[in-house]
Amino acid sequence: MGKMIYSILKAAEDPGQLPAVLSGMRGISDADFHEVSYDDITAVVCDVQRAGLVTDRSATMDYAGVIDSLFKDFTLLPVRFGSVMESEGEIRNMLERNHIEIQKNLLKVEGKVEFGLKVFCDTEKLKADRSIEPEGTIKSVNDAEAGQKNQVYMDYVKKKLAEYRLEESVLSYVNSVIKEITECLTGVEATGKFKKMASPANIIDALFLIKKEMTAELIRVVKDLQTRYPDLNFMLTGPWPPYNFVDVTIS
């Protein structure tokens, strides 16, 4: 038997609040939740049979659902699915050893929520719209000897050069959209992370951490961006617990 940790949270002012919230929830394999505390931080855990731990979609969704419910009432650090420790004593020691790091991270995410912004586009259309010469024109330092070139190899380089220029042009466009998103979000005071070209269609996959009260403003900014870029599709999701803005290496 082990203890699965769902999240680490900052103790509420009302000591009865967490037990009240947990009493209405069930953990993995229908187990009860309980708290393991050290100083002002608490880990929410439930008993789990390591051997019977199923790591399918349904289990991970249930796990995320618990973190999401807790997140409505508490400032928390979500813990990765499958984080199991042997005993309450071991968890308490872990909280003690990492107390400063955990507190630092809790402070960073306090009163904040995470949002995901995915930008999709028809990459083939985007490429077609780029003004790239179909065959790359090669500049060389001695163009005068053009007649001596082996045409097969030169044609191959031209083809590759055209592909390279197209790729660079698309990347430059993506960078310009990211720059605009960043500028538009200045007023929202967002901390952002951007991933470019996550897939051919998903040209930008961004994550933001913002103050809860800025949510409406963020939605307005995204709607405004959509109007400016009618050929792109913006998808905003959230609010999420701060999955991607927690940086604790447990020792």
Partner 1 sequence: MSENKILFSTGNLEGLAEDIGKMSDTEGSKLKLHPDNADSGLAKLVLTLVELIRKLVEKQAMRRVDGGSLTDEEIERLGETLMKLEMKMEELKKHFNLSDRDLNINLGPLGDLM
Q: By CB under 8 A, name the one of 64, 84, 178, 248 that touches partner 1.
A: 64
**Which of 61, 107, 128, 171 touches partner 1 by CB under 8 A?**
61
If binding means CB under 8 A, how many residues of this protein chain bind partner 1? 47
Chain centroid to CA 129? 30
Taking residues 13 to 52 in sequence order and writing x for each that binds partner 1 by CB under 8 A, - otherwise, the string is ----------------------------------------
Nearest to 33 by CA among 44, 49, 21: 44
Cα gap 177→237, rounded to integer Å: 19
SS (H, E, C) the chain: CEEEEEEEEECCCCCCHHHHHHHCCCCHHHCCEEEEEECCEEEEEEEECHHHCCCCHHHHHHHHHHHHHHHCCCCEEECCCCCEECCHHHHHHHHHHCHHHHHHHHHHHCCEEEEEEEEEECHHHHHHHCCCCCCCCCCCCCHHHHHHCCHHHHHHHHHHHHHHHHHHHHHHHHHHHHHHHHHHCHHHCCEEEEEECCCCCEEEEEEEEEEHHHHHHHHHHHHHHHHHCCCEEEEEEEEECCCCCCCCCCC
Q: Is 37:14 a contact under the CB 8 Å cutoff?
A: no
Is residue 120 at the binding interface for partner 1, with CB under 8 A as the rule? Answer: yes
Which residue stretch of 7-15, 62-70, 73-81, 173-181 sits at the interface with partner 1 (rule: CB under 8 A)?
62-70
Per CB under 8 A, does 160 bind partner 1?
yes
Sign of CA dihedral 213, 214, 215, 217: positive
Identify the residue among 1, 107, 138, 171 touching partner 1 (CB under 8 A).
138
Residue type, 201: A
Among the residue ranges 16-24, 77-85, 90-98, 233-241, the one whose residues contact partner 1 (CB under 8 A): 233-241
Question: In this complex, which beta carbon is closest to partner 1, that of residue 91 or of residue 177?
Answer: 177
The answer to whether 240 contacts partner 1 (rule: CB under 8 A) is yes
The reply to whether 237 sits near partner 1 by the rule CB under 8 A is yes
Tell me whether residue 20 or residue 157 sits nearer to partner 1 (CB atom).
157
Footprint (CB under 8 A) of partner 1, residues 175-204: 195, 197-199, 201-202
Q: Is the CB of 13 or the CB of 145 nearer to partner 1?
A: 145
Candidates 2-10, 73-81, 100-108, 147-155; binding stretch for partner 1 (CB under 8 A): 147-155
Q: Which of residues 202-221 bind partner 1 (CB under 8 A)?
A: 202, 205, 219
Q: Shortest gap between Cβ of 192 and partner 1 (angstroms)? A: 16
Q: Which residues bind partner 1 (CB under 8 A)?
A: 61, 64-65, 68, 115, 118, 120, 136, 138-143, 145-146, 148-150, 152-154, 156-157, 160-161, 163-165, 195, 197-199, 201-202, 205, 219, 222-223, 226, 233-238, 240
